[in-house]
Chains A and B, each alone.
Chain A
Amino acid sequence: MQERLAHLKTLRVDPEIPVPFIYRGKKYRGVTGDSIASALFANGIRIFSRSLKYHRPRGLYSLNGECGNCLMEVDGIPNVQAETTPLKFGMNIRPQNVVGTPDHDLMAFVDRFDQLMPSGFYYHYFHRPYKLWPFFQNRLRNVAGLGRLRPTTRMTGNYDELYPNADVCVIGAGPAGIQAALAAAARGLRVILLEARPWAGGCFDYRSSAYDGNVSLFERAQELSRQVKQMGSIRLFRNTAVIGCYANMLVTAFQKGSESDPFDERYVEIKAGSVVMATGCIERPLIFDHNDRPGIMQVNCAHRLARTYGLLPGTSAVFSIGDDLGLEAAVDLSDLGLHVPVVADARFDGQDEFLLQELDKRNILFRRGWIASKANGNRQLEGVRLCTIDGMRFQDISCDTLIASAGLTPAAGPLFLCQAKMAYDVFTGFFLPEKLPSNVHASGRLLALTDHVAIEASGRLAGLKAAKDCGVLLEGEIDRTAEELGDLPGPARGCKLVQAPGRGRKRFVCFDEDVTAKNIYQACSMGFDQVELAKRFSTAGLGPGQGGIPGHNLPMLLAQYHGDERHDVLPSTVRPPLTPTYLATYAGKRRRMIKQTPLRDTLAERRGAVFRRAGAWERVRYFSEDTTSRSEIESVRNRVGVIDVSTLGKFRIFGPDALKALERVYVGDMASVCRGRVKYSAMCNHDGCLMDDGVITRKGENDYYFTTSTGRAAATAEWIRYHTRHDGWDFSIVNLTDAFGALNLAGPDARKVLEKLTDQDLSTESFPFIGYREFMIHDAIPIRAIRLGFVGELSYELHVPSSYTRALWDLILAAGRPFDIQPFGLEAQNVLRLEKGHVIIGQETEIRTTLHDLGLGFLWRRNKPGAKKIGSRALKFTEHQAGRMKLVGFKMADAARPARDGAVVVDDNIRGYVCTSRYSNTLKESIGLALVESELAEIGTRLALFEDNMGDRRLYARVVPTPFYDPEGKRVRM
C-alpha cells in the first residue's frame, strides 16, 4: 500500500483508521475518508476499467466523476462512480467492461481496428439493407454497454427522500458559495448550501498557497466552514450533487450517505425563493495522442490526490497545462516529493511571475508555448512527447505521470438547466450567462474570476441579491459590494487551445464513448457539423459522464472546423440529471399509499380473502381460491350475502342553489328527487359520454346526499364546482366518501337478516325498492339505508359512520348465521351484476361511449334546456347518429366457454370488443356484454370473437336481450 503523506494539514483522510475492502476477490485496505478510487490508487491499482468501444485501459482522471473511467461494480451494483463514492467497510469492488483482467483484457485487440469504426459506423455497416439491423443490433448490444445488471439484481439499502424549503439555495460550498450563504443568512434568511464533495471549501480546500499574508487558502476554507457551522440558519448538505435546477427555483439533488447516516442515498428536492450558483469550474481536457492512458490525469485530480488523500500521483510527473493552477500544482507537488522534470504551458504569456520564479527555484524546466502531443506506453504511461504549439520542435521525456489540462471551463450545468441565456465569451473562453432568470444569481469562478478576494466578493454580492429577492431591503449594501467587486481583478483571460499539433487517430474527445477528434471531423464532413448533430452522430458526450469531459471541447472543435470562434462556439443542450445516480434514489421510499376501507383488517382475517388494488383502494376480489366465486354467487342468489362497498363516493351538497348544481351535472330531472326515495342518474361530459352514475336523495330543504362510483369519487366535487364556476351559485359540497363505510346486504333473505338488527319496518310497503331510510341498529349505530338492486336481488345498501363499520359487519354476520350468510367479493359482484345486465363505468364504457350507446338514454331529461345540463347538446346530436358503438348482451355458442375480457369482435375487420364475459352458474351458460358497431347490435346477430394467439380459430356468440337474469325485476322488488 502506498505510503500516505500523513503530515499534511489539508488531509481529509485518517491514515490511522483502516477500512478493509475487497477488490477482484482480494482483500485490501483503505483508510477512513477515502473514496473508492483513492483507496484503489493507494493500493497500486492504476487501471480501473476498460473503455466502451476499444477496451482501452482507463485510470484515474478527474477525481470528480466527470467521465466513466472509474465506473465500477460495487456490491453487485454496476456503474458506481468510484471517484465520488466514499469507501465503506467491506465493500466488494470489481472492475467493469473487462474480459479477463483489467491489465490483460481479451477484447483489447479491438483497439487495433479503430479505422473500421468511423463516426456513425453502425449506420454505414448495419443498416443496409435495413432488415438486417435487428440482427446486428442484438449482437452489438451484447458487446456494448458499461457494466452488467443481472435480472436478479435487487437494490439493497435505504433510499430516502427529503423536501426542504429555504429562502436561498446556494449550489456549491466553495468560497463564493459560502460567502453567498453567509450574506443571506446574516439577513435572517433560511439558507441551504449544497456541496457535492464531503466537505466545504471548494477550490480553496486543498491548496496551500497564500490567501492573504500568512493565511493559506485551505486555512481560509476552514475558517469559512467554521463560520457556516456557527450560522444556525445555514443548512449545509455535504456529499450532495445537484441533478436538476429549474426556473421556478426548484433544485433537485441527491446525497450520498456516509456510514453514520441512516440512508445510503437520498433524493433532495429544494424549493427556494432565490438560487445562487457557485459551482466553480472543472478542467478542460487536453486533446493529444493517447490522452487517455492510465497515468494521465487532470491538474486538480493530481493536486487533490496528494493534498486531500495524501497520495502522490506518481514518482515523476510532466505537466502540460493551460492556466496558473497548473503552475501552482507543479510547485506544490514538487515540494511534496514528486519529481517534476518539466512544465509545458500552452500559453505564451500571462503566467503568474511569482509562480514562474518558484518553478525556477526548484529547478523545474518551464517551457512556454509547449504542449504534450503524445503519450507513450502501452497499458500505462511510460513517457510523453512534448512539442511546440506550432508542432515544429519535439522533446521526449520519460515519466510515469502526465498532469495535463487545457485550462478551465465553468461548471455551468445548473445555469443551462434553469434556462439562463449562455454565450461564449472570447476573452475568457467560457460560456458565461448573458441573461439570468429572475431570482437566479451566479458567482465565483463560474464567472471566470480567479482572484481569491474577488471570488469571495462576488459570492457576497450574489448572496445579497438573493436576499433582496426574498424581500430584504439592502439596496445600498448591494451597490457598495458591487463597487468593491468592481475594484478587484476581473475575469482572467482563458487558454483557447483545443488540441495539440498532430494527426493521431487516438486523441480522445470523449472517454465515455471512445470518440476521437478524428471522429468529430468525420461527422462534420458528413454534414453533422452543428454541435447537437455532431454530438448525436458521433455520440460524444452521450455517456455516463453527462458531457463532463467533451462538454466544452466539442463546441470548440466544431468552431475550429468552421474557422469561426466568435460565432460558432455554441453549447450543447444540458439535461438532468447533471450527475447520474441510481433509479432507486429517484424512486425513494416505496411506500404503499393505498386506501383501506374500515373493514380491511376484518376481511384480511377471513380465510381465503384475496385483495386486489382497485384504483386508490385495496379491495377483496375473492373469498376463496375459486376464482369463479361460485359459492359466493350462490349465496347471494339463494340465501344472503354481504359485500364491503365502502369505496363508493358519498357526498353532501347543500345550499340555496344545490338543486341547480345537481341539475347541471346530472342528466336526469333532479327536481323530482324527494325525501325517502333515491333517484338513479348519470353524469356525462360535454360529449355526452358517461362519466359517472349513482343515486341521489333529498335529506332536507336544499340538502342532498348522493353517491358516485368508486373511481370518480375523488373528482366529483371539483367536477361540480368546475361546471358551475361562472354561475355564482350558493351551494356547498362535502366529500363524505371516507366518513361512511358501506355494506351491501343482498339476497332473498336480506330482509330477514336486517330485521334482526333493527325495529324499523322493512316491509316492501314501508321500505320499497329505491327507498331511502335512516334508522338505528341496536339503538347505537346510525344507518342510512338504500334499497337498490345492483346485483339483481333484494338488497340494502347500508351507509354507516366509518368507525362503526366493523361493528355493523360483525352484527350482520352474527344475525345472518342462521341463513348461512356469506361475504362476497368484487368478482362475485361482477358476475351478479353482469347477469342483471348492469354496467360498470370503465368496464362497459370508454371515453367515446354515450348514454345512448349503453341503452341508458331514458335517464336523460331532454326538455330542461334552462338547466344547461352537461352533455345535453352532444346527446341530441349522437342520439340517432349512425355508426356508433352499442352495448349488447351476448350468449356464447359454447355455453361452457366464456370469452376473455377484451376479446375482439371481428369479421374482416375489428367490429367491437368484449367488455365482460363470464360463465353464469345461475343461468348455466356463458354470457357477456360487448361494445359493437351498431349494425351488429341487432338481437340474434352472430358475433365472431378473436382472442390472443387464436390463429384462424374463432369463438362464436349471439346477441341476446338483457338483462339475462330476472328481466322483469321481480327479485329486486320482493
Chain B
Amino acid sequence: MRTSKLEIKRESPIVFPQPVHRREMRNGWEVVAAYKNEGAGPFIVDLSHIPKWDLQGEDLSRRRPADISVPIHSGHCRAEKEMLINVVKWNWAVIWRLSESPADFSREPAFTDVTEAYALLLIIGKDAFSIMEKVTVLDLMATSRERPFLALGPVLHIRSQVVVMGNDCPGVFIACPRGYGRAMSDGLLEAGAEYGLCPAGEERLLEWWHALDIA
C-alpha cells in the first residue's frame, strides 16, 4: 500500500450557502462552529455529524444507555447529559449525542451506529413552528404533548423524525434519510426565508441547549 497525499475528510450531506466564520475538525468531520453574519434568527443548524444510535430490543425500559433511562411510551423523549433519547415505538429508540461525550455503544448488539444514515437539522427560534407549518402536517404545537416529544411523519413529503424542545425559545430537530439532506435543507431555507431563517453553526446549538436548563 502506498500513502496518498489526499486529505481524508468526512462530509455532511448538507452545505449551506453561507461563508464560514469558524470551523473545527472533529473525528474527521469539518464542523462549522459559526457562520459569518448569522443574524438574529431563527437559525438552522446542520447536526448531521453528531453521533446517532439506533436501539432496538424487546424491553427498552431495561436499557440505560450512558446511565440514562429510556422513556416507556412512544413519542416520549428524554434530554439528559447532552443526549436525546427518543422512543419511536415500544421496541425502538434513537439516541442523538449532542456533545463530545465519550458514550460509545458499538459493542452492544442492540445498538446500531446510524450517524451516517440521517441528516439532522435543528431549527431554533420563536418562528420555528411557523416555518415547520409550511413543510409538515405534523402538529408540533400541540399543547397536550409535553416537550420534548417525538413526532413521526412527512416533512417536505419525506418521512422524518421530528423532536420538539423548549418553550420560550423552541427548537425543532428534523432527522431525515441522509440522501434527502440537501433537498431538506434547501426546502427549509426556502420555507423560512420570509421569517429570516439563516444558517448557523454548532455554537448556536450549544447556546440554545444550555439555555434549556437540562440536567
Contact = CB atoms under 8 A, between A and B. Distances in A.
Interface stretch (B17-25, B39-47, B50-58, B199-207): B50-58
Interface stretch (B61-69, B72-80, B138-146): B138-146
B134 A738 contact: no
Contacts of A801: 10, 115-116
B6 A732 contact: no
Residue of B112, B190, B194 with most partner-chain A CB within 10 A = B112
Interface string B159-186: 0000000000000000001111111101
A162 interface: yes
Nearest to A759: B1
B1 A756 contact: yes
Interface of A: 160-165, 188, 190, 262, 269, 271, 589, 591-598, 600-601, 616-617, 652, 654-655, 700, 702-703, 730, 732, 734-740, 755-759, 778, 780-781, 801-807, 810-811, 814-815
Contacts of B115: 739, 801
Contact of B143 (A190, A598, A655, A734): A190
A269 B138 CA distance: 11
Contacts, number: 145
Given A591-B190, A732-B91, A803-B12, A596 B117 contact: no
A849 to B, nearest CB: 29
Contacts of A188: 143
Contacts of B58: 730
Contacts of A737: 117, 177, 179
Contacts of A738: 116-118, 177-179
A827 to B, nearest CB: 22
- Grouping DSSP codes into helix (H, G, I), strand (E, B) and loop, the B interface class, with mixed when no group exceeds half, is loop
Contact of A732 (B56, B157, B186): B56
Given A756-B2, A803-B11, A803-B12, A596 B116 contact: no
Contacts of A807: 6-11
Contact of A593 (B11, B117, B158): B158
Given A597-B179, A655-B57, 4 more contacts: A734-B56, A755-B1, A757-B1, A801-B10
A111 to B, nearest CB: 49
A602 to B, nearest CB: 9
Given A163-B134, A756-B2, A811-B4, A596 B183 contact: yes
A781 B9 CA distance: 10
B136 A778 contact: no
Nearest to A161: B134
B177 A652 contact: no
* 5 tightest Cβ-Cβ pairs between the two chains A and B: A595-B179, A732-B56, A803-B10, A739-B117, A165-B139
Interface residues of B, number: 58
Contacts of A262: 193-194
A736 B117 contact: yes
B183 A735 contact: no
A194 B54 CA distance: 43
A755 B135 CA distance: 47
Nearest to B193: A262
Contacts of B141: 165, 190
Contact of A594 (B8, B112, B134, B183): B183
Nearest to A810: B6
B214 interface: no
A903 B4 CA distance: 50
Nearest to A261: B194
Interface of B: 1-4, 6-13, 15, 28-29, 49, 54, 56-58, 91-92, 109-110, 112-118, 133-139, 141-143, 156-158, 177-184, 186-187, 190-191, 193-194
B104 to A, nearest CB: 15
Contacts of B109: 654, 700, 702-703
Contact of A595 (B133, B157, B177): B177
A807 to B, nearest CB: 5
A596 B91 CA distance: 30
Contacts of A756: 1-2
B180 A593 contact: yes
A814 B6 contact: yes
A802 B13 contact: yes
B177 A804 contact: no
B59 to A, nearest CB: 10
A497 to B, nearest CB: 46
Nearest to B136: A163
Given A163-B134, A738-B118, A598 B1 contact: no
B14 to A, nearest CB: 11
B183 A740 contact: no
A263 B70 CA distance: 44
A596 B13 CA distance: 9
Contacts of B139: 165, 271
Contacts of B114: 734, 736, 739
A759 B1 CA distance: 6
A188 B110 CA distance: 43
Nearest to B158: A593
A160 B135 CA distance: 10
B120 to A, nearest CB: 12
B133 A163 contact: yes
Nearest to A755: B1
B95 to A, nearest CB: 13
A598 B11 contact: yes
B56 A778 contact: no
A930 to B, nearest CB: 34
Contacts of A739: 113-117, 178
Contacts of A811: 4, 6, 8
Contacts of A595: 177, 179-180, 183
Nearest to B186: A591
B70 to A, nearest CB: 15
